[in-house]
Amino acid sequence: MTMLDRMRRHRNWLKWSLVLVVLAFVIFYIPDFLRGTGAVANGDAVAVVGGQEIRSEEFRRLYQMQLQQYRTQLGSQMNEQLLKQLGIDQQILAQLIDERAAVAEAERLGIKVTDQEVAQRIFAIPAFQENGAFIGAQRYQQVLASQPVPLSVSDFEESVRRSILADKLRTSLTEWMAISDKELEQEFRRRNDKVKLALVTFNLDSYRLDVTASDADVASYFDAHQSDFKIPEKRKIQYLLIDVDAMREKITISQQDLERAYNDNAAQYSTPEQIRASHILLKTDGKDDAAVKAQAEDILKQARAGADFAALAKKYSQDDSNAKNGGDLDFFGRGRMVPEFDAAAFALKPGEISDLVKTQFGYHIIKVTDKKGGITTPLAAVKDQLTEQLQDERAARQATDMAAALEADIKKPADLDRVAKARGLTVEETGFFAPNEPLLGLGSAPEVTSRAFQMNVGDMSGALRTGRGYVFMTVTGKQDPYIPKLDEVKDQVRDTVIRQRAREMSAQKAAEAVAKLKSAADFEKAAKAAVLEVQTTDFLTHDSPIPDLGQAPAVIDAAFSLPQGAVSDPITTDNGTAIIKVLEKQQASPADIAAAKETLRDELLNERRSLFFGSYMTKAKQNMKIQLYRDTIQRVVG
C-alpha cells in the first residue's frame, strides 16, 4: 500500500487533526522551486552524508530556484556565472549536507516519523488546499507531475519526511530551553533604551607624532612582554595548481556557440510583459459566501461609477499587505499570482476594472493601472558577457575533469613533478605561513590552509578547490611556535609602545580637562574655552559606535549608567579617551516591554536553540563520513 493510499484511508481522521506547519522550502512557491533545465541520471549523487545520499536532481532544483529568484530581482543583470561567484552552489550544498546530517543523527537516536505525520504536513500546505480542505490525491499528483522537471510523489513525500525528522531532532534537543522575564527585559532595554551625548574625544592617533620609542624602550618592553609576540605554528607546502584563469585564456568561443547558448537561455535575456494593478479583496474563509459576494458587487458598482479605487481599497480591502497603499500590487509578470487572478488581470487594459474574480482567498476587484511590454535583449548587447560566461564554464569543466583525472595519478609527493611535466604544469612552493596568512601564489585559500595544518610532513592531499582552481599539495616543512628574537618583531614592538604612550597621553590630556568640564555650568562653552571640540551625538543604543573612537563598550556602559545631565570621568578605550555628558535619555516603558514580550521571547528562544543545535550538529558531523563528488556538482552547475 502506497502512502497515498494510506492518506486516503485516514483522510477523515486527518481532516480534523491537521497541524499547520510551514514547510522548510515553502511549497506555496512550488512552481519556482521545481523549475529546472533538465535532469541528471537517477542515483547520480553530489554528496553522501552519514549514509544519506544527496541526489543531483535535488541539488539542481534548489540551484535553479535560487537562480530564478535572483533573476526576478535583478533581471538581465543576473546570470549563472554571477551566481557561482557569489558561492550560491556551495551554500546550497552546505544546507543540504546539514539537512542530511540531521536526518542521519535523528535516525541514530531512534527518532521516527509516521505516515500520518507526513500526511498532516502535506494536507496543511496552502498549495494543496482549497476552501480549507485538501485538493485530493489526483490533483496533488498533477501539481507535482506538471512541473517542467516533474517531481515524483515518492520523492516529494520523502523530502517532507526528512524535514519533519530534522524538526523533531531539533525539538528533542532544545525543547528544555527557556528565556526568563528578566532576560527579556534586559535584552529589550539593550535594544531600545537610547542616550544622547555631548562628547569630547582624545583620539590616540592625534598624539602619535608627539611620542617616541627609543631602541632601549623597545627592548625593555619586549623583555617584559615576550609572550605577546609569540610566533604561531607555521607550515610550508609544495603544490600543483590547475589554474582556471590560464585555461580560460586559451578558450575560444565561436559565434555558433554563442547563438546556441543565447537561444538555450532565452528567458535570461528577456523581460516578460508586466502589468501594474491594484485590487480589493474580500475574504470568504469562514464567512457566508453569498453575503461576501453581495458586498463585493456593491463595491464594484461604486468603483465603476467613478469612486476613487485607492480610497475604496483602503476602506474595504482585507489584504493587509497592500490595503494601506490603496491595494497597489506594483508591477508583476505572468505566473506571480494565482491562476484566476492572473488571467483576469492580464486581460485588462490600463484603466479598466475587472468583474468579480473568485480565488481561494475570496473575491477580488482588480484595476490595471499600467502595462509594460516584454523586452528582449539582443545577442549583440550581451555578446561579451556571454563569451566570458562560456569561457568560465568551459574552463571550470576542464579544470574539474583534469582534477578528477589527476586524483588517480597523484598518490605521493614524488608524483607532483612527474605529473606536472607530463601536463605542462609547474610545481610551486610557499614559504612558511601561519593559519591566518595568505599563501604565496594562491592568496587566500582557506581550504588549502586548513588542510595543510591537519596533515603531517610528507602527506599528500587530494584535489582541493580554491579561488584559482584545484590544488594538489604536500606539506614540506613544519615550524613549531616560538618566542622570536627582538629583531624579528622590532617594528611591531615599536608600534605597540608608541600606541601605548599615545593612549597614556590622551588619558593625561583628558584628566587635565575633566575638572573644568565637570564643574562648568555650560559643558560646551567650557570645552571650547579649553580649545576642545564637542560633538553632539544622535541617540545611541548599546550597539552604536562612538564618533572618533569606534566600538567603545566602556563609553556606552558609562553613558547608560550615568544620570541625565551628569559628566563622566575620563573613559579609556582602545583608540583613545573620552569625556561625556549625558544630554538626554529615552527608556522603554513597562508597557513597551510587555507588548513585545512574547514576540521577543520567541525570537531569543529560536536564536538560543539554533546556536545550541548548530553546535551539536557540528560535533555530530565530525563523527559522520561525508563524501563530496565535485565532478558531479560541477556538471550540475556548469
Distance of CA 291 to the CA centre of its chain: 46
pLDDT above 90 coverage of the chain, percent: 60
- Report the pLDDT value the prediction gives residue 91, as an integer from 0 to 100: 85
pLDDT score of 532 more than 70: yes
Residue 30 vs residue 183, higher pLDDT: 183
- Report the pLDDT value the prediction gives residue 527, as an integer from 0 to 100: 93
- Report the pLDDT value the prediction gives residue 534, as an integer from 0 to 100: 94
Over residues 353-360, the mean pLDDT reads 93
Does domain 3-176+621-637 bear CATH number 3.40.50.300? no
pLDDT score of 14 more than 70: no
Over residues 226-255, the mean pLDDT reads 94
Lowest average pLDDT, out of 208-212, 278-282, 329-333, goes to 329-333
Beta bridge partners of 433: 235
Question: Cell numbers at residue 607, please?
Answer: 536564536
Q: Which of 575, 614, 581 is nearest to 205 (CA)?
A: 575
Q: In the CATH scheme, what architecture does the domain 234-258+380-479 have?
A: Roll (3.10)
Contact present, 578 and 199 (Cβ < 8 Å): yes
Q: In the CATH scheme, what architecture does the domain 194-224+486-586 have?
A: Roll (3.10)
The domain ranges of the chain are 3-176+621-637, 194-224+486-586, 234-258+380-479, 273-373
Question: Cell numbers at residue 558, please?
Answer: 558609562
C-alpha–C-alpha distance, residues 564 and 581, integer Å: 8
pLDDT score of 346 more than 60: yes
Q: How confident is the model at residue 21 (pLDDT cuts 50, 70, 90)?
A: very low
Single pTM value for the model: 0.58
pLDDT score of 12 more than 60: no
- Report the pLDDT value the prediction gives residue 137, as an integer from 0 to 100: 83
Close Cβ partners of 251 (under 8 Å, ≥ 6 residues apart):
390, 391, 394, 395
Angle between helices 88-108 and 630-637 (to 10 degrees): 130
- Report the pLDDT value the prediction gives residue 73, as an integer from 0 to 100: 63
Q: Where are the alpha helices (DSSP H) in 55-175?
A: 56-74, 80-85, 88-108, 115-123, 137-145, 153-174
Q: How confident is the model at residue 13 (pLDDT cuts 50, 70, 90)?
A: very low
- Report the pLDDT value the prediction gives residue 445, as an integer from 0 to 100: 86
pLDDT tens column, 463-488: 888 888 899 999 999 999 999 999 99
Over residues 183-206, the mean pLDDT reads 94
Contact present, 508 and 261 (Cβ < 8 Å): no
Residue type, 206: S
Q: How confident is the model at residue 150 (pLDDT cuts 50, 70, 90)?
A: low
Contact present, 516 and 565 (Cβ < 8 Å): no
Beta strands 535-536 and 270-271, pairing class? unpaired
pLDDT score of 130 more than 80: no
Lowest average pLDDT, out of 132-146, 267-281, 388-402, goes to 132-146
pLDDT tens column, 252-286: 999 999 999 888 877 777 777 889 999 999 999 88
- Report the pLDDT value the prediction gives residue 38, as an integer from 0 to 100: 32
Over residues 93-106, the mean pLDDT reads 92
C-alpha–C-alpha distance, residues 243 and 442, integer Å: 10
Is-same-fold flag (3-176+621-637; 194-224+486-586)?
A: no
Contact present, 153 and 50 (Cβ < 8 Å): no
Residue 462 vs residue 24, higher pLDDT: 462
CB burial readout 279-312, b (16+ within 10 A) else e: bbbbebeeeeeeebbeebeebbebbeeeeebbeb
Dihedral sign (CA 183, 187, 188, 194): positive
Quickly name the fold that domain 273-373 has: Chitinase A; domain 3 (3.10.50)
- Report the pLDDT value the prediction gives residue 46, as an integer from 0 to 100: 85
Contact present, 472 and 414 (Cβ < 8 Å): no
pLDDT tens column, 487-527: 999 999 999 999 999 999 999 999 999 999 999 999 999 99
pLDDT above 70 coverage of the chain, percent: 89
